[in-house]
Chains A and B, each alone.
Chain A
Amino acid sequence: MARRQEAKGWVFVGPFLAVFALTFLAPIGYAVYLSLYRDQAFFGGTVFVGLDNYAEVLRDPKFWESAGRVLVFLVVQVPVMLILALLAALAIDSARLRGASFFRIVLFLPYAVPGVVAVLMWGFLYGDTFGLAADLNDLFGTTVVQPLSGTWMLPSIANIVTWEFVGYNMLIFYSALRTVPGELYEAAAIDGAGAIRTVRAIKLPALRGAIVIATIFSIIGSFQLFNEPNILRTLAPNVITTYYTPNMYAYNLSFAGQQFNYSATVAIVMGVLTAIIAYVVQLRGSREAL
């Protein structure tokens, strides 16, 4: 009887799993299948090529250039964003900030702005037709501020992503801080611990799980970088190539190049790389927690 009752769980989980199979498992399977074949350029039809496509991706300088770019992006942007979010969460939680709840709401607002609109806004601000970059240059009589030029493009994109997601990460950290029992702070105060010590001894350990989760999500997000460069491409087609990020590469291979098999292979390689890095971060995060 009890066993039959437990089996009823499938009634609730089943529908989710069915759609999940169609939107997650089937595409993965199909991508793996595609990645093992190649179009015959002159004879037509497709042939089984085993792992040749994978070997080609691993030798492809365009792929490595794009992967290297998101790696640089990740190593710089993710720490900056998460540290800003952490500082903001600690400040809002500290009881030493006037109007803390107002700050919390306003900082979170960019998350409600569609990524596309965020990029359009910043794109206009960066541009030299109108927007703030042009105003600044006018003001100082220079042409130094060129956010859309080659060297500055990646930092400009990093700025947009940071603007969009600091508030979201701040809220995750803040929620974790709220779960620290008040008695802990009282005990620390009785022991004469100052603000810095309280942060290091109580707050940061309480945040560890949230930090690991936020880091993993940010890494996945960086590897998927697409919207920002793809939309800015209209403004700076010479700076942003069709293989600026791995995702743009996969997209352009499919939609401009019709190279579906190769595109699927790029997507799989990137997915595997992301999963490995996310997994390593998770392992390191939980080992340090012990």
Chain B
Amino acid sequence: MTKSKPSRLLTGLMVLYLVYTLVPLVWLVISATKTQDDLLSTPGLWFGDSFALFSNIKETLTYNDGIFLRWLGNTLLYVVVGAGGATLLATAAGYGLAKYKFAGRRAVFAVLLGAIAIPGTALAVPTFLLFSKLGLTNTVWAIIIPSLISPFGLYLMWVYASEAIPFELLEAARIDGAGEVRIFTTVALRLLAPGVVTVLLFAVVATWNNYFLPLIMLSKPSLYPLTVGLTQWNSQATGVGANPIYNLVITGSLLTIVPLVVAFLLLQRFWQSGLSAGSVK
């Protein structure tokens, strides 16, 4: 390919967009260093008179008997079991669909494709009604069970498995006398690893960011994930007996973002290669 010179115009425009992307995040970081008084009295995009980041963090973690830590723990539980389980199910099913031509396979495709077209949130209210009949609302299962299904993850794993695993390899393993499940766990999984990391990462984001589902399923604050908890703190600022804790909402928001951003930056190579494999089709 011919080497082109960098274009100033192009770079300039992209820098403008970059600024737009970063402004809210910079604002959040700066605001997390301010006391509530400074928040209300100093300009948003510059530091206040005090540097209160550490006292804000301490207050966020200890406010209301440390409920924030409880929410963090809940989020981690939902992410580990929900996103982990979703990845496991999607990987196995994607592999099964890609490498076995069993009867009924077409029907499975048709049902799955139909399901992807149905908006998840249109399902949320009916799911709530069903789960409340089953007595599952206000339990961790109300969040975990729906998180276990990722149609997008299944699609990605199916495409990935079709390309990453040669049939000959499976045949060779069978001739060696390995069972199907053993072939999957010892031979296939290793080849699927980049795809698995991608699906896992996106499932983690989806579960970590989940708001609508826990909002309708849970009424006990002790079961809330971070997202619902933060909005509850935020709404404390208005209404009857308003008790604004803006500094805690802001610091809590920052603490909620950091783990995901770090995970994405560290795992860049995996998810970028996994995504490109998925988009070939």
Q: Which residues of A contact B (CB under 8 A)?
A: 5-13, 15-17, 19-20, 22-28, 30-31, 34, 84, 88, 91-92, 94-98, 103, 105-118, 120-125, 129-132, 134-135, 163, 166-167, 171-172, 175-176, 178-179, 182, 185-186, 189, 195, 209-210, 220, 223-224, 226-227, 231, 234-235, 247, 250-251, 254-255, 260, 263-264, 267-268, 270-271, 274-275, 278-279
Q: Which residues of A contact B249 (CB under 8 A)?
A: 120
Give 27 pairs: A residue, B residue, CB < 8 Å, sorted on A: A8-B100, A11-B181, A22-B145, A23-B123, A23-B146, A23-B148, A27-B123, A84-B17, A109-B25, A110-B21, A114-B227, A115-B227, A123-B234, A125-B27, A131-B44, A132-B23, A132-B44, A135-B43, A176-B279, A179-B276, A179-B279, A186-B1, A209-B279, A235-B238, A255-B216, A275-B117, A278-B117
User: For residue B39, which residue of chain A has the nearest CB?
Assistant: A130
Given A94-B10, A112-B260, A210-B279 in contact, is the A16-B93 Cβ separation under 8 Å? yes
Docked CA distance A6–B96 (Å) = 9
> Chain B at the A interface: mostly helix, strand, loop or mixed?
helix
Please tell me if the beta carbons of B103 and A7 are within 8 angstroms of each other in the complex. yes
Contact with A along B268-281 (1 / 0, CB 8 A): 10001001101111
Contact of B253 among A117, A172, A223 (CB under 8 A): A117
Measured CB to CB, the closest approach of chain A to B57, in angstroms, equals 16
**Which of B226, B237, B268, B279 counts the most chain A CB atoms within 10 A?**
B279
User: For residue B261, which residue of chain A has the nearest CB?
Assistant: A112
Q: Which residues of A contact B24 (CB under 8 A)?
A: 118, 121-122, 125, 163
Q: Which residues of A contact B231 (CB under 8 A)?
A: 116, 120, 231, 234
Measured CB to CB, the closest approach of chain A to B221, in angstroms, equals 16
Please tell me if the beta carbons of B121 and A247 are within 8 angstroms of each other in the complex. yes
Given A30-B130, A251-B216 in contact, is the A109-B3 Cβ separation under 8 Å? no
Total of A-B residue pairs, C-beta within 8 Å: 284
Please tell me if the beta carbons of A224 and B216 are within 8 angstroms of each other in the complex. no
Q: Which residues of B contact A (CB under 8 A)?
A: 1-7, 10-11, 13-14, 17-18, 20-25, 27-28, 31, 39-40, 43-45, 89-90, 92-93, 95-97, 99-105, 108, 111-112, 114-115, 117-130, 133, 145-146, 148-149, 154, 174, 180-181, 184, 205, 208-209, 211-212, 216, 226-228, 230-231, 234-235, 237-238, 246, 249-250, 253, 256-257, 260-261, 263-265, 268, 272, 275-276, 278-281
Please tell me if the beta carbons of B21 and A106 are within 8 angstroms of each other in the complex. yes
Please tell me if the beta carbons of B117 and A130 are within 8 angstroms of each other in the complex. no
Please tell me if the beta carbons of B149 and A16 are within 8 angstroms of each other in the complex. yes
Given A9-B96, A96-B4 in contact, is the A19-B149 Cβ separation under 8 Å? yes
